Structures are given as structure tokens and as C-alpha cells.
A and B are shown apart, each in its own frame.
Chain A
Amino acid sequence: MGVGVRAQELRKVYSSPPPMAAGSAGFSFTAVRGPKGKQKTEIVALDGLSLDVRAGEVFGLLGPNGAGKTTTVGILTTRVKPTNGSAWIGEYDVWREQVAAKRLIGVVQQRPNLDFSLTAREILEFHAAYFGIGRVERTRVAAELLERFQLTERADQMVRGFSGGMMQRLSIARAMMHDPKVLFLDEPSAGLDPQTRLLLWDIIREYNRAGKTILLTTHNMEEADALCHRIAIVDHGKLIALGSPADLKASIPGGYLLRLRFTGPADGLAGRLRELAGVSEVNVSGPSVDLYADRGGPLAPAIVTAASAAGAELCDVHISEPSLENLFLHHTGRSLRD
């Protein structure tokens, strides 16, 4: 039986600035004056986020840096106390029944946190021991996972000298050691080379086929697209859109996005562009125009004609096919990569 994950109206306000090395850009401080005139920091990381991850699905949290993905994972894995709201792993309330919840989950945190005093093999075996797995069993599973993650050669070395990719693979192997029903992966492929990323994707799919629920976060839409059954797009701690990758892409007006740049301000041009066949939305800002349409390249000649009729000159076109990137752009006016 698979286990689902639920979060209801999660709100998280941090009252201190993030620790120096938290490694997330784009946070916003609001300095609030406390009752005694003392300077206080309040960072709203989550603002009423609800999720319902079904048992046995691969669920993606997609959003830019600072969107609140890591905070969400932190709350769902007992590491962060929500300011408001509740969360459940299966039937267990994550905050009130921490031990029962922890038994069901495996977690790969965004920042590497391997035990530097141990070798790779010891890391896996001690992890299993924390979960009460017997010696024979944990020796066997550790050897198996080391092999699967191509770490056998370095298994008996201290992890201090491992490359980022090796540490990441070992972290994932560790999270799988006790065969958790729900696996959390916070930005699992950040910093991996393309080959290792494919290995990781294989491993995630295979683990999911064994009936496990997987919740992963990413700011990479190709990854979300390739792996996830459903995706929640989050920004500023709020849910922006939710659905399967196909549904989400189909929900963008027109589907294709043409980003145009002209030599001068393009305000006068919007009307003409809107009238072109297949165009569903036109957003102008200065010399740049975002145009959503049901076709891409075939529209270019018509745009050039319309532009020259209005006395404007097109100097750059970028066409992108229907994608989650466009969806994010459509909802927020910003690019995921920013």
C-alpha cells in the first residue's frame, strides 16, 4: 500500500534571517518594528500552501529560488515547525506524531549533509541501524545500493574528498536505505552532470514503480516534465498552478510563446499584433513584446509585415514551444531561470 502526503494551508514566517550558508537567493526581508521598538525580521516563506500528493505518484514542486520549496519539504519532514497549518504523511500528523511520520519517509536535503566522520559504506549502514535494521540485512542492502549508484569503488573511503555528484548519489542511496514509503528529494539533480542526472531519473522511476510516493522539488522544468505525474508550481510561498505536465502546458493560451524585441518602443504595435491570426495574447513592455499564439515560426513573416507597416523594426525573435517555463512566465511575468 502506498502512502500519500497532505498539507493544509501551510504558512511559515521565519523570524530570523536565513543562516549564512542557506544558499537561497532572492529572499525578501521586511523589517518590522516590534512592540518595544526592536528591529525584527519577518520572512514569509510560505503563505497558505495546500498540497495533496497521492499515494504512488511522482509529484513535483516547481518554482524559482526562494519560492518556499525547501521550507515545504522541511515542514513535511518534521524539520521545520509551521507557523500555521498542518501536514500529514499517510495518516500521521507530521508535527504531532513525528516518530511515526519519520518511519515512513526518506529525505534528500538540498544541502549535502553527509556524515564526514564516516566512510560511504558506514554512512549507509549506520543510517539503516538508526532505523533498527539488523546487521546482515543492512550490510547486504548497503552493498546493493553502492553498486546501483556506482559508488562501490569508493565505498570504503571517507566522504570528505568526494565530488559533489558522488555526495549527491550517496545522499540518495542513504535516503533509500530503510526502504521508505515516501521519498523526498529537494533539488536532487542540481549540480549533477547530464549522465548522472539520467541515472538519477532512472532510479527515481524505478523506485516509483515499486509503489513508492516521490515528492521532488526542482527549478528545472525539463526535469519536472520528464519525471512527474503531477506538478505544483509555487512562487512566493503560494500555489500558482497544479496539474499534469500535459494539462498545465495545454492551459497556456496559445501554447507557443514568441518573445520579440523591436528597435524602439512597441506600444503602438500591440493592436496590430493582436489582430494576427492565431494570436491569443500580447503583452508589451517598452521595446519587448511577449506574444502567445497557437503557432511559432509561421507567424514570423506576418509579424515583420505588421511591424514595418507601423514603422517599427524587429531586431530579435525568440520562439519557444509550449512548456512549463512559458506557463510560469505567463502566471508571474518572470522567468523561472531568473
Chain B
Amino acid sequence: MNWKTFRAMLARDAHVARRNFIPMVLQTMLQPMLFTFVFGQVMTRSGMMASSYKMILLPGIMAVSMVMTGIMGVAMPLIGEFQFTREIEDRLLAPIKIEWLAVEKVVAGMVQSLASGAVVVPAAWLVLGNVELSFANAWMFAVIVMLVALLSAAGGLTLGCSVGQTQVGLLFSLVLAPMIMFGCAYYPWSSLASYPILQKLVLVNPLVYASEGLRGTLVPDVPHISVAVVIAALAAMDVALVLLGLKQFRGKAMS
């Protein structure tokens, strides 16, 4: 392992991120803020939803934006760099095992995912107004946040190395959209009880554990999947996605 090379590759990604800072912030913020405003403000004020819905919504918004930011932040550049511009080739020739480049991408994606969580939560909290968050489980919360960040970045690595440039549209409509809708972000998992089959099926969706885990630690009074189960599931999915992502990366990087 060659730290200088690894650090230089991180520095490159940080430099590019700094250059695209404003569009990136807008991209991260806009969608969650719109959701927060429409569901948390418009719907609750008009009485179409109970005010307590805000407590369900906030952790879900955080989960969606962390997961989406991590996936997009890793997958989109990878798809382009491998196929269209091939600009990744210079780094594949750097004096370091190529797997470390994939690890670097995952680390960069985790940072983006964490940053989006750190920005979206206070912003959503301000828009919603007086949602009571619990920080009694700070450690559990931190563990879950890290696992979610890794989940999203490793998922981005896997998708980015499996999807071709022409299939990006399909990625959105066939993978990401159902994932968000069935991710228990806008409703707790327990509310699927009247659809027993669906309730079992959505358990393959990693976003479910992210939403439920954040709910379980930030607003523990809302019904949620047990935090221990969430941590175990997230850890298992993290390991699986990292391994699968590395395999896909190797396949892309060498012919």
C-alpha cells in the first residue's frame, strides 16, 4: 500500500469536487428540501397529514439523501471515466494496486454521503420546525451513519462498474426509483403490515435498513426495526457490496 499515491488520488477527487462545489450542493440539497417542504410543511399544515408525520419523515429524508449522494457520487463519475473519457486510465497506471483506486473512490463517496447527511438534517429540521430529535443513542447513531455511508459508496462502486453509459436512464427508473419508493423513507416499515408479502420483499432493499436505523436512533418512539437487526443487516450488505464492487471494478479495469 502506497499512501502517497492514495492521498494524491483523494486530493484529485477533492480538487474536482471543490471546483464543482455549487452544482454539487444544489444537487444534494434540492430534492430532499423539496420533499421536506411538500410533505413536512404543505401536507401537515393543511391537515392532510398529522403533525407527528414530521418525525417519521426527517430520518427518512436523511437516509435517502445519504444513500443517493453516495451512489451518485461514486457511480456517475466512474461510468464516465471508464467509458467515455477514459480519464481513469492515468490512475490505473499509478504505482499502486488498482484495487486501492476503488477503495479511494469508496472513501470519497463516503465523505460525500456524510456531508450530505450533515447538511440535509439541520436544513430539514429548520424547515420542519420543532421536531424533537433524541441523541441518547449517539454511539449507535454514529455507527449506523457510518454503515449507511459505506453502503451507499460501495453500492455506487458496484453500480458504476456494472452499468454502461447507455443504461444510466434505466438505472434511475428501474433501480433507484423503486429503491427510494420501497425504502421505507417516507413511511415506517411497520406500516407495510397490511401487505405481508411486500413487507418481506422490501427487506432486500438496503435503504430500508438505513431509514429504519436512523429512525430507531433519532426518533426512538416511532415504531422501527430493532437497531441490532439493522446494524447486522447493514454490515452484511456493506461487506457484500464492497466485495462485489471490487470484483466488478477489476473486470472493468482490465481486459
Task: Write the residues of chain A forming the contact surface with B, with a CB cutoff of 8 angstroms.
Answer: 14, 19, 74, 77-81, 98-99, 102-103, 105, 107, 109, 111-118, 122-123, 126-127, 129-132, 174
Contact = CB atoms under 8 A, between A and B. Distances in A.
A117 B255 contact: no
Nearest to A129: B8
29 contacts: A78-B93, A78-B254, A79-B89, A79-B253, A79-B254, A80-B255, A99-B97, A102-B94, A109-B86, A112-B86, A113-B86, A114-B85, A115-B87, A115-B90, A116-B87, A118-B12, A118-B15, A118-B16, A122-B15, A123-B90, A127-B90, A129-B4, A129-B8, A129-B11, A129-B12, A130-B5, A130-B9, A130-B94, A130-B95
B255 A74 contact: yes
A74 B8 CA distance: 24
B2 interface: yes
A223 B94 CA distance: 29
Contacts of B19: 117
B131 interface: no
A118 B94 CA distance: 17
B12 A116 contact: no
B91 interface: yes
A79 B92 contact: yes
B225 to A, nearest CB: 40
Contacts of A129: 4, 8, 11-12
Contacts of A131: 5, 94-95
Contact of A116 (B85, B96, B255): B85
B8 A99 contact: no
A126 B93 contact: no
- Residue among A103, A117, A123 having the largest count of chain B Cβ atoms under 10 Å: A117
B contacts with A: majority SS = helix
Given A113-B85, A129-B11, A132-B4, A99 B96 contact: yes
A79 B96 contact: no
Contacts of A123: 90
A78 B250 CA distance: 12
B224 to A, nearest CB: 41
A117 B15 CA distance: 9
Contacts of A102: 93-95
A126 B85 contact: no
A14 B255 contact: yes
A122 B90 CA distance: 13
Contacts of A116: 85, 87
Interface string B74-104: 0000000001011111111111111000000
Contact of B254 (A80, A112, A118, A127): A80
Interface in B131-153: none
A236 B19 CA distance: 46
A117 B87 contact: yes
Given A122-B15, A131-B5, A113 B95 contact: no
Contact of A111 (B9, B86, B92): B86
A215 B62 CA distance: 53
Contacts of A114: 85, 87, 90
Given A113-B88, A113-B89, A123-B90, 7 more contacts: A79-B92, A102-B95, A105-B93, A113-B87, A114-B85, A117-B87, A131-B95
Given A78-B93, A113-B90, A117-B87, A126 B8 contact: yes
B255 A99 contact: no
Interface in B92-134: 92-98
Q: Kindly list the 10 A-B residue pairs having the minimum CB-CB distance in the complex, ordered from nearest.
A: A129-B8, A130-B94, A113-B86, A132-B4, A113-B89, A115-B87, A117-B16, A103-B95, A102-B95, A130-B8
Contacts of B8: 126, 129-130, 132
A126 B87 contact: no
Contacts of B97: 98-99
Given A99-B2, A132-B4, A126 B95 contact: no
A15 to B, nearest CB: 10
Given A99-B2, A130-B8, A132-B5, A77 B254 contact: no
Contacts of B87: 113-117
Nearest to B101: A130
B90 A174 contact: yes
A43 B170 CA distance: 30
Contacts of A99: 2, 95-97
Nearest to A74: B255
A78 B101 CA distance: 15
Interface string B219-255: 0000000000000000000000000000000000111
A177 B253 CA distance: 23
A166 to B, nearest CB: 16
Contacts of B254: 78-81
A126 B88 CA distance: 12
A130 B221 CA distance: 50
Contacts of B83: 19
Nearest to B3: A132
Contacts of B12: 115, 118, 126, 129
A113 B88 CA distance: 8
Interface string B1-29: 01011001101100110010000000000
